[in-house]
Amino acid sequence: MTLDAAYAVYWSLRDPLAQSQSLPVLTALAREGWRFGLVTFEQPQWRLAPEAARAERQRLAALGIDWRPHDYTKRPPVLSTAWDVWQGASTLATLAREGGARLLHARGSIPCAMAQAALLRCRAKLFADADGPLSEEYVDAGIWSAGSLPHRVAGHVEDRALRIADKVAVLTEVRRGEVAPLARGPVAVLPCGVDTGHFRPDPAARAARRAELGVPKGGRVLVYVGKAGGWYLSEEILDFARELRDAGSHDWRLLVLTPDPPERFEVGARERGVPATVRRATRDEMPGWLSAADAAISFRKATPSQRASSPIKNGEYLSCGLPVVSTPGAGDYSELIERERVGVVVAGLDVPGYRSAARALEGLLAEPGLGERCRSVARTHAGLEEVVLPRYREIYRELLGAPATAKEQ
């Protein structure tokens, strides 16, 4: 198979991020004739059994995608990542030299490091499809100290990718302003894409799920999708749910959809007197559960690196017609939520802030057409088919012209 691009992520093929952000883009472009090498790093919780992996490799090959998985290396810290960078760089260089890939498409900071190392051994263009700055995220999370050797090395690699790349894309308008002085040309904004055809309100599922949850007539449901801790302010989410229940004019309850052990949320909800249901949900089940809710919540730590973030859950909430209660500084979403009146941004993570946001949310939910307004914002801001794929097509045509398959005909 003659390739057009070698695409690298530091995710597993079955990781939800790869399933929602990478594979939809690659398969859509492959349908138009582009051919890809795909480099992934398989973690134990997502790794396919050998027979399933062979079947998946064959399925992807039939689409025009040559899948090259590596095992993710966890320990020792830093050195394990360096080893994975070396493995990824070697595979990218092979895909360029032997597969003919004219473009190295690196999604995120570590794949950008792989691509830079690969370019020492091959000739290709570089598309730095840069998520948030990992070096700053690790400092904000307390994993690295500011100015430490890993922080400085990672920051240098990230900056160099921005400077040498033939094309740079970031997740938010805020981040574009930060990196534009470093890039060689115009910087594209590619928010995390939402499949608005998949994430949509389902009235039948709403009735069934609310009955399963035991929601009384006139009751309302606040939903949270995600993990506990880390970037996510799970304790503050529970605090807000308590104030919403106490200050709101409806019988509110909390629905949590998480891969974490349920007790991570159940104990705190019980201590606060918040009726809560905690469940796991697959991607296919998610729209039905979201349809059961009346509003959604997304609280993240307000750190400098989060200005570059594009929370997928926010777009999925909106696509299901749900207004979002958000913290400030969540990429472009906080400003978007306020400007388009599709949610509420809390003024502070305290009782007065929560109560003010609860009152604002109750008022917003009384507005006619709110659900469709949320849907419209999802389509125009982060729709996969509506926004993200057209921008990827434009970038590929800008960098490569026609697919290799077209040139062979």
Question: Looking at the domain assignment, is residue 197 inside a domain?
Answer: no
State pTM to two decimals.
0.93
Question: Looking at the domain assignment, is residue 399 inside a domain?
Answer: yes
pLDDT of residue 229: 85
Based on the domain organization, do 70 and 118 belong to the same domain?
A: yes
Based on the domain organization, do 321 and 375 belong to the same domain?
A: yes
Nearest residue to 383 (alpha-carbon basis) of 312, 322, 292:
312
Number of C-beta neighbours around residue 207 at 10 A = 12
Q: Which residues are registered as beta bridge partners of 66?
A: 37
For the chain, what percentages of helix, strand and coil (3-state, to nearest 5) are there? 50, 15, 35
280: Cα separation from own chain's centroid: 18
User: Which CATH number is 64's domain given?
Assistant: 3.40.50.2000
Based on the domain organization, do 146 and 240 belong to the same domain?
A: no
Distances (CA, A) of 256 to 69, 151, 230, 237: 33, 34, 16, 10
Based on the domain organization, do 378 and 389 belong to the same domain?
A: no
Tens place of pLDDT for every residue, the chain, 409 residues? 899 999 999 999 999 999 999 999 999 999 999 999 999 999 999 999 999 999 999 999 999 999 999 999 999 988 999 999 999 999 999 999 999 999 999 999 999 999 999 999 999 999 999 888 999 988 888 889 999 999 999 999 999 999 999 999 999 999 999 999 999 999 999 999 999 999 999 999 999 999 999 999 999 999 999 999 888 999 999 999 999 999 877 899 999 999 999 999 999 999 999 999 999 999 999 999 999 999 999 999 888 888 889 999 999 999 999 999 999 998 999 999 999 999 999 999 999 999 999 999 999 999 999 999 999 999 999 999 999 999 999 999 999 998 977 655 4
Preceding peptide of 76 cis, ω within 30°: yes
Question: Looking at the domain assignment, is residue 266 inside a domain?
Answer: yes
Domain hosting 217: range is: 203-382
Q: In which element (H, E) is residue 7 found? A: strand 5-8
Based on the domain organization, do 153 and 288 belong to the same domain?
A: no
Based on the domain organization, do 227 and 375 belong to the same domain?
A: yes
What's the token pair of residue 363? Answer: 């008022």
**Total domains present in the chain:** 2
pLDDT of residue 404: 78
Based on the domain organization, do 34 and 162 belong to the same domain?
A: yes
The residue assigned the tokens 């020792």 is: 76
Question: Looking at the domain assignment, is residue 198 inside a domain?
Answer: no
Question: Looking at the domain assignment, is residue 306 inside a domain?
Answer: yes
